[in-house]
């Protein structure tokens, strides 16, 4: 077959370009001259998908991946959708009576998507974070936590009527049953606040047994409202318990974050009046921590939720995952690091210690972000507002010097180590007089709306099944059991 635009091509040597068509494997002979090309199709016995002219892959309109199994010589075409392939399609490769097919081995799910989600978008290379399509910078600047919670749960911003109804429902569901208060009072005086929060949220399912009717939209709505409303109460009471102070009941005249501050810090005054700058800073922190895609705790919520448990049990799983130091304890580790450095003059020596492996740089780098974490930029700005009220924390100077040097040092730049959300948040929490053991509670309270949005999406997703990952077995096989009466002779 020949396709030509001009007649004279004889002076130009033919170069094979191997491609695959839908009908046959062919070699495309290309003669180039005067900007024109003569094409000759010649049958070729083997599949090839790259250009011998440029060395580049042949690009087609087909959104597929062709895989050659060198064990058998078989080829498989797998559909690509949204930059991903289905693991089940890989499972078909090599499948036979003696071969179960291929599996994906991916510890930590570093490159495995378990769901399609419309809740949170992250572009780690560009440092972009969006909730339901709205940039985090705009939400932190102009929205409130409860409005953001509505956005995450419902997928769109509320009208004024929807917003007012949402806020009203949450405001008047902040009280918890007195029996749950009795449970909290039964903990040791030195019980960790996260352990208390985990236990009390799990116990909520016993107070609302209808919560397991997860296919009923009204039942789901009621539990979502209750949990978002009661989390600050339970978190504040865990804090008061650890300090040996009496519990403070919710004040429905205050906003969500103001009420939380009241339950935390109110003493004998008849009406607690929090500084609006501190309430705003906490509001911003709550918005920034509301959701962050498929992290460890969200994955735990989804995995447990896939068995169709009630949302209290699913969120309890998320709290348990967040309790781990690798997930929820990073800002406390940053604070300890800054206190160990002490002054900005010690930063250069610390940086050298990091580079030679003697020290660990906490609060830098992220599994997802290969750029500046957008939340860190916002929190850094919020520090100024908080310290205007509380006075400047001397560790802020250490943190700023550490950031400055690290961002200029080639060692950290080429490794794409930028400040993350935990780098400055611990300084704000300490300025607000929170002990380090409360930091993770302050993470869990706002993250509840994100967990519930993800749980709701899971329940409504017809593709979701009960989580049951595969394993690659590496243990012994076909051993003969010897009874203990013979083994112990």
Q: Is the pLDDT of residue 7 over 60?
A: no
- Domain around 86: 2-102
Domain assignment of residue 486, yes or no? no
- Is position 470 within any domain? no
Tell me the C-alpha distance between 108 and 344, whole Å: 36
Query: What is the DSSP pairing of strand 2-3 with strand 36-43?
Result: antiparallel
pLDDT tens, position by position, 424-439: 998 999 999 899 999 9
Whether residue 66 lies inside any domain: the answer is yes
Mean pLDDT of 323-332: 87
> Does a structural domain hold residue 484?
no
Q: What is the torsional sign of CA 174, 143, 384, 295? A: positive
Q: Of 96 and 293, which is predicted with more confidence?
A: 293
Q: Is residue 70 domain-shared with residue 156, that is, in the same domain?
A: no
Considering only 17-26, 41-50, 420-429, 459-468, which range has the smallest mean pLDDT? Answer: 17-26
Are 118 and 457 in contact by the 8 Å Cβ rule? The answer is yes
The answer to whether residue 467 is domain-embedded is: no
Is position 474 within any domain? no
Taking the C-alpha atoms of residue 276 and residue 282, their distance in angstroms, rounded to an integer, is 10
What is the average pLDDT score of the chain? 87
Give residue 357's region: left, alpha or beta (phi > 0; psi -120 to 50): left
Is the pLDDT assigned to residue 20 strictly greater than 70? no
Tell me the C-alpha distance between 475 and 201, whole Å.
Answer: 38
The total number of structural domains that make up the chain:
2
Residues 236 and 341 in one domain: yes
Does residue 129 sit within a domain? yes
* pTM (2 d.p.): 0.84
- Residue 137 shares a structural domain with residue 80: no
Distance between CA atoms of 193 and 431, rounded to whole angstroms? Answer: 19
Q: What is the pLDDT of residue 3?
A: 40
Q: Is the pLDDT of residue 29 over 60?
A: no
pLDDT digits (tens, 9 = 90+) for 155-179: 999 999 999 999 999 999 999 999 9
Looking at the structure, do residues 162 and 83 belong to the same domain, yes or no? no
> Which structure tokens are listed for 287?
């918005």
Domain shared by 92 and 206, yes or no? no
CATH code for the domain in which residue 355 is found: 1.10.580.10
Q: Are residues 211 and 240 in the same domain?
A: yes
Q: Per the domain annotation, does 266 fall within a domain?
A: yes
Query: 134 and 56, same structural domain?
Result: no
- What is the DSSP secondary structure assignment for residue 252, as one 8-state letter? T
Active site residues: 327, 366, 422
């Amino acid at each position: 077959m020949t396709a030509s635009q001009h007649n004279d091509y004889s002076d130009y040597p033919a170069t094979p370009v191997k491609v695959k068509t839908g009908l046959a494997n062919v070699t495309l002979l290309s003669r180039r001259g005067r900007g024109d090309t003569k094409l000759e199709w010649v049958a070729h016995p083997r599949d090839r998908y790259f250009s011998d002219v440029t060395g580049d892959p042949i690009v087609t309109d087909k959104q597929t991946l062709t895989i050659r199994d060198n064990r058998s010589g078989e080829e498989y075409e797998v559909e690509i959708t949204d930059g991903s392939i289905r693991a089940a399609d890989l499972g078909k490769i090599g499948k036979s009576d003696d071969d179960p097919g291929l599996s994906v081995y991916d510890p930590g799910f570093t490159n495995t998507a378990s769901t399609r989600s419309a809740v949170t978008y992250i572009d780690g290379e560009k440092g972009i974070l969006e909730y339901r399509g709205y940039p985090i910078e705009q939400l932190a600047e102009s929205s409130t936590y409860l409005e953001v919670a509505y956005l995450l749960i419902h997928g769109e911003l509320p009208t004024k009527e929807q917003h007012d109804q949402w806020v009203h429902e949450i405001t008047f569901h902040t009280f918890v049953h007195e029996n749950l208060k009795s449970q909290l009072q039964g903990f040791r005086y030195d019980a960790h606040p996260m352990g208390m929060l985990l236990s009390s949220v799990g116990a909520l399912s016993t107070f609302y047994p209808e919560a397991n009717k997860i296919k009923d939209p009204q039942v789901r709505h009621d539990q979502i409202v209750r949990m978002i409303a009661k989390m600050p109460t339970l978190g504040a009471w865990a804090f008061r318990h650890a300090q040996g102070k009496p519990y403070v009941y919710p004040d429905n005249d205050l906003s969500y974050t103001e009420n939380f501050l009241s339950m935390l810090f109110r003493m004998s005054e008849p009406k607690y009046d929090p500084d609006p700058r501190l309430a705003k800073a906490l509001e911003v922190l709550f918005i920034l921590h509301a959701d962050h895609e498929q992290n460890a705790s969200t994955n735990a919520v989804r995995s447990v939720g896939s068995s169709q448990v009630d949302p209290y049990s699913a969120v309890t799983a998320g709290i348990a995952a967040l309790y781990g130091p690798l997930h929820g304890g990073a800002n406390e580790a940053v604070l300890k690091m800054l206190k160990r450095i002490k002054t900005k003059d010690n930063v250069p020596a610390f940086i050298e210690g990091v580079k030679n492996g003697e020290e660990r740089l906490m609060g830098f780098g992220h599994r997802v972000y290969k750029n500046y974490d957008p939340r860190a930029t916002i929190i850094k700005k919020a520090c100024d507002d908080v310290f205007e009220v509380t006075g400047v924390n001397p560790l802020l100077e250490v943190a700023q010097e550490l950031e400055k040097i690290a961002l200029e040092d080639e060692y950290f730049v080429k490794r794409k180590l930028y400040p993350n959300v935990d780098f400055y948040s611990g300084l704000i929490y300490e300025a607000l007089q929170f002990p380090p053991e409360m930091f993770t509670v302050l993470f869990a309270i706002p993250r509840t709306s994100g967990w519930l949005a993800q749980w709701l999406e899971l329940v409504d997703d017809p593709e979701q099944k009960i989580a049951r990952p595969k394993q690659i077995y590496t243990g012994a096989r076909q051993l003969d059991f010897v009874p203990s009466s013979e083994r112990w002779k």
